[in-house]
Each structure stands twice: as structure tokens, then as C-alpha cells.
């Protein structure tokens, strides 16, 4: 197992060291083969030849290398077709080849999960997000990873990578959190801190990007188009776009930060500006708007959202109007996103989306009011299939995609 882990680190490092063109091509082809097996397996060698357009001998050589390294394994024979012929040997990822950790740092809770090479959850734990300094909070999270490995009796040497999702702007190349207003973080080297603690590569996405990665992978496995835009509506507002199977991150990390675009609300935002979209349609914004409308209850965004939802279902006209207004405002914002990105599907995620049709129907109405008819009439608008699971699943995939596809995949720069 130590030899396999060393080999894994060697493969991951190919994107960071100088190689010959021939070496780079071989590494890219091997990564392509592995990614197809990981995403679509079990598959046969002939399937790989067809899917990659590589020669039979090239595929065979890389498959043998991946088997020898412990990354993949043979898994039985394909059932014979009606035409007969020799049954093909099927290949799949070896789930025991390595372990990754996925971390979701939320405003209230932080969850850490261990997953095998196929993405199956091994163990997880959820704790209240630490209110200590960001560095101390990250160090505590690293300790949680080590505790989980110990609890599951998994050798630390099998940990191959860590993926992190957090509610803030993340610089793509460095994994630094530039700003996370709802966490109170600014210029925090998240990847560097965790990497120094755990001594494995660490990859960081913001929460919305991680959710988009998870949603795209999930629908792709269902045979649907993986190209989508995700609009997150919770404590904050964010957006992410997956186009041609790749997550668009931009160069600076600010791609998708539509929650902090000015809409003239005149209200101070947690980012320090006045009038951001987030002050109009987020969970806390709904809490404020509900209080202004005369509703009594918690100022907590999620609690107030649920309270208003129950009141609307019970026939309260003021509650229904409030959600209609919020939904239409969201639809107007969604129109910007759709006309810039042009995705096949718009996915709505986050706690506010749990209101279902109470928010989705006025959102669609607002979209039709603001977007060109050719856009509004052709895009599919739906809630997230994964819902709250998408955050942690996205964090795990952030790590798995980098291990499995060092030169390809949703995290392409």
C-alpha cells in the first residue's frame, strides 16, 4: 500500500514538474483512461479504445500500469451478447487504492467526510464551526481528519488529497480565501494551512462551485446534460457555471459572486457595500423583510424562512406576497446569469430553495419578465437533485477530481 500511495503522489505531481512532451502525453492519456473508468465503469478495454480514440496497444499499456499501481482492478466479465463471442473483462476503480477527505465549512457547522476512491462515504463527523481564528479553526479541522482516520483504522499514508468547500471567494491557483463575509474571513491561506497540517494536496472551492461540481457529476451519471448554472440561495447568494463539462472559475476567484452585485436596496451588506443582491433575497434578507412585514419570530434566516413558508401554506396572504416578491427578485437575478452563461439547465440550491413551489413559481415568473423569451422558454429550471448533500459531495469530488484527473476534469483552470 505504501508503494501504491507513492505512485499516486507521483502521478499527481506530473502537472507540477517539467516533463517531456512524450511524458506529458502519456500522463494525460493515463489520466483520461482512469477518469473514464472512474466516471463510467465498469468498462472494458475495447470500450476505452472507442471512448478515447487511442490505439488498442496504448490503452492496454496504460490499463496494465494502472492495475499494477493498484488504481484499478478487473471486475468479472461482461454478460455475453446474443451474437455470442468472447466475453470482455470489465475494469473498475479499486476503492481501496486511496482515501480522500471532503470538508464543508459552513457558517454554523463544519462537516468532514472520508471517502474511498469510488467516492463512497467511509465515515463523517459534523461539529459547530469554530469561532476561533481562521487558522485555529482550520487546524482543528485537520485534527478532525486525523481523528476520523484513526477511528476507522485507516493508515494516514492512504490519505491522498483533501477537498474543501466554503462560503467565500477562493483564489483558484492558491486555495486562498480572499473573503468570506459570513465567516468573517479575509485573505486566509486555507490550502496552505491544511496542507502543512496533513501533508497532502488540498484543493478549495467556494460552496456554490462545489455544489455545481456535484450536481453536474450526478446528472451526467443519469445520462442528462452536465452543463448547468447553479444559483445558491441560503445565508448568502452565489452562482456557478459548468460548461462543456468544466467548472468555470475565472482567474481571480470572483466568478459567480452575483450576491454582491448592487441592486439598489440601500441596505448594508456583510461585505461592507450597500445595496447588494444578498441584502434582498438571502435567508437573512427574508428574515428582515418578514419582520418589516410585521411577522414575529426568530431573526435567524433559516428559521424565519421556514416560518414564512408555513404561514404561506396556511393561506397567509402577506406571507405569500413576501415569497412572491422574493421569488421574482431571484428570477430577475437568474435572468442575468442565464443570458451570460446560456446553460441547458438552471439549478436552484440552498436553504431558501426548500420552500419549493412557493419560491420556484414566482422565480420562473420573474425570469420570464426579465429574460429574452428565447432564453426563458428553452432553459430547464429546477431545484437541486442533491439539495443539502451537494455541498459535502462537491467537497469530496473536489479532491477526487484532482486525484483522478490531474490534467482533465471539472476543475480545469
CATH number for 99-211+391-404: choose from 3.40.50.300, 3.10.20.30, 3.30.420.40, 3.40.50.1000: 3.30.420.40
- CATH class for the domain made up of 2-93: mainly alpha
Which of 299-303, 304-308, 336-340 has the highest mean predicted lDDT (pLDDT)? Answer: 336-340
Q: Predicted confidence band at 83 (pLDDT cuts at 50, 70, 90)?
A: low
What the block records as the C-alpha cell of 381 is 429550471
Q: Predicted confidence band at 37 (pLDDT cuts at 50, 70, 90)?
A: confident
pLDDT: is 245 or 336 the higher one? Answer: 336
Is the pLDDT at 410 greater than 60? The verdict is no
pTM of the model: 0.80
Q: What is the mean pLDDT of residues 314-322?
A: 89
pLDDT: is 300 or 174 the higher one? Answer: 174
Integer angstrom CA distances of residue 87 from 46, 48, 80, 82: 11, 15, 6, 11
Q: What is the mean pLDDT of residues 234-241?
A: 91
Instruction: Compute the distance between CA of residue 160 and CA of residue 400 in angstroms, rounded to an integer.
Output: 9
Q: What is the pLDDT of residue 28?
A: 79
Domain ranges in the chain are 2-93, 99-211+391-404, 223-386
Strand order in the sheet with 43-44: 43-44, 89-93, 72-77
Is the pLDDT at 107 greater than 50? The verdict is yes
Which of 73-77, 213-217, 287-291, 360-364 has the highest mean predicted lDDT (pLDDT)? Answer: 360-364
User: What's the per-residue H, E or C state across the chain?
Assistant: CHHHHHHHHHHHHHHCCCCCHHHHHHHHHHHHHHHHHHHHCCEEHHHHHHHHCCCHHHHHHHHHHHHHCCCEEEEEECCCCCCCCCCCEEEEECCCCCEEEEEEECCCEEEEEEEECCCCEEEEEEEECCCCCHHHHHHHHHHHHHHHHHHCCCCHHHEEEEEEEECCEEECCCCEEEEECCCCEEEECHHHHHHHHHCCCEEEEEHHHHHHHHHHHHHHHCCCCCCEEEEEECCCEEEEEEECCEEECCCCCCCCCHHHCECCCCCECCCCCECECHHHHCHHHHHHHHHHCCCCCCCCHHHHHHHHHHHHHCCCHHHHHHHHHHHHHHHHHHHHHHHHHCCCEEEEECHHHHHCHHHHHHHHHHHHHHCCHHHHCCCEEEECCCCCHHHHHHHHHHHHHHHHCCCCCCCCC
User: Mind listing the pLDDT tens digit for each residue in 332-379?
Assistant: 999 999 999 989 899 999 989 989 999 999 999 999 999 999 888 899
* Under 8 Å between Cβ of 48 and 64: no
Q: Predicted confidence band at 304 (pLDDT cuts at 50, 70, 90)?
A: confident
Is the pLDDT at 324 greater than 90? The verdict is yes
User: Mind listing the pLDDT tens digit for each residue in 264-282?
Assistant: 888 998 888 999 999 999 9
Q: What is the mean pLDDT of residues 286-293?
A: 84
Is the pLDDT at 80 greater than 80? The verdict is no
- In CATH terms, are 2-93 and 223-386 the same topology? no
Omega of the bond leading into 396 within 30 degrees of 0 (cis) = no
Q: What are phi and psi of 177, to 5 degrees?
A: -80, 110
Q: What is the pLDDT of residue 389?
A: 87
Q: What is the mean pLDDT of residues 44-69?
A: 90
Q: What is the pLDDT of residue 9?
A: 47
Q: Predicted confidence band at 48 (pLDDT cuts at 50, 70, 90)?
A: very high
Instruction: Compute the distance between CA of residue 196 and CA of residue 31 in angstroms, rounded to an integer.
Output: 27
pLDDT: is 25 or 139 the higher one? Answer: 139
Per CATH, which fold does 223-386 belong to?
Nucleotidyltransferase; domain 5 (3.30.420)
Mean residue pLDDT across the chain: 85
Amino acid at each position: 500500500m505504501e508503494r501504491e500511495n507513492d505512485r499516486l503522489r507521483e502521478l499527481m505531481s506530473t502537472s507540477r514538474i517539467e516533463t517531456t512532451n512524450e511524458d506529458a502525453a502519456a500522463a494525460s492519456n493515463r489520466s483520461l483512461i482512469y477518469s473514464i473508468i472512474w466516471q463510467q465503469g465498469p468498462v472494458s478495454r475495447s470500450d476505452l479504445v472507442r471512448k478515447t480514440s487511442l490505439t488498442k496497444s496504448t490503452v492496454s499499456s496504460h490499463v496494465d500500469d494502472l492495475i499494477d499501481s493498484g488504481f484499478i482492478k478487473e471486475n468479472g466479465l461482461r454478460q455475453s451478447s446474443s451474437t455470442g463471442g468472447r466475453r470482455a473483462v470489465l475494469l473498475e476503480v479499486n476503492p481501496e487504492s486511496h482515501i480522500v477527505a471532503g470538508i464543508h465549512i459552513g457558517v454554523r457547522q463544519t462537516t468532514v467526510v472520508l471517502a474511498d476512491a469510488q467516492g463512497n462515504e467511509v465515515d463523517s463527523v459534523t461539529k459547530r464551526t469554530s469561532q476561533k481564528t481562521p487558522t485555529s479553526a482550520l487546524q482543528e479541522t485537520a485534527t478532525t481528519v486525523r481523528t476520523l482516520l484513526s477511528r476507522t483504522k485507516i493508515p494516514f499514508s492512504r490519505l491522498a488529497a483533501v477537498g474543501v468547500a466554503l462560503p467565500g471567494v477562493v483564489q483558484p491557483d492558491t486555495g486562498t480565501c480572499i473573503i468570506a463575509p459570513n465567516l468573517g474571513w479575509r485573505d486566509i491561506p486555507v490550502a496552505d494551512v491544511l496542507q502543512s497540517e496533513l501533508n497532502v494536496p488540498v484543493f478549495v472551492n467556494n460552496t456554490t462551485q462545489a455544489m455545481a461540481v456535484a450536481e453536474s457529476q450526478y446528472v451526467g451519471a443519469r445520462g442528462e446534460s452536465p452543463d448547468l448554472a447553479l444559483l445558491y440561495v441560503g445565508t448568502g447568494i452565489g452562482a456557478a457555471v459548468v460548461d462543456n463539462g468544466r467548472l468555470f472559475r475565472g482567474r481571480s476567484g470572483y466568478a459567480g459572486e452575483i450576491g454582491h452585485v448592487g441592486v439598489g436596496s440601500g441596505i448594508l451588506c456583510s461585505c461592507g457595500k450597500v445595496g447588494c443582491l444578498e441584502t434582498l433575497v438571502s435567508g437573512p434578507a427574508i428574515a428582515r423583510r418578514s419582520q418589516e412585514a410585521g411577522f414575529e419570530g426568530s431573526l435567524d434566516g433559516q428559521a424565519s424562512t421556514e416560518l414564512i413558508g408555513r404561514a404561506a401554506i396556511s393561506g397567509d396572504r402577506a406571507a405569500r406576497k413576501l415569497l412572491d416578491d422574493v421569488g421574482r427578485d431571484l428570477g430577475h437575478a437568474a435572468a442575468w446569469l442565464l443570458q451570460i452563461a446560456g446553460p441547458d439547465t438552471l439549478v436552484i440550491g440552498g436553504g431558501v430553495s426548500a420552500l419549493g413551489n412557493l419560491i420556484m413559481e414566482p422565480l420562473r415568473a420573474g425570469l420570464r419578465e426579465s429574460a429574452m423569451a428565447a432564453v426563458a422558454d428553452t432553459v430547464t429550471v429546477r431545484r437541486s437533485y442533491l439539495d443539502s448533500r451537494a455541498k459535502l459531495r462537491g467537497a469530496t469530488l473536489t479532491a477526487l477530481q484532482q486525484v483522478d484527473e490531474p490534467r482533465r476534469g471539472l476543475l480545469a483552470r
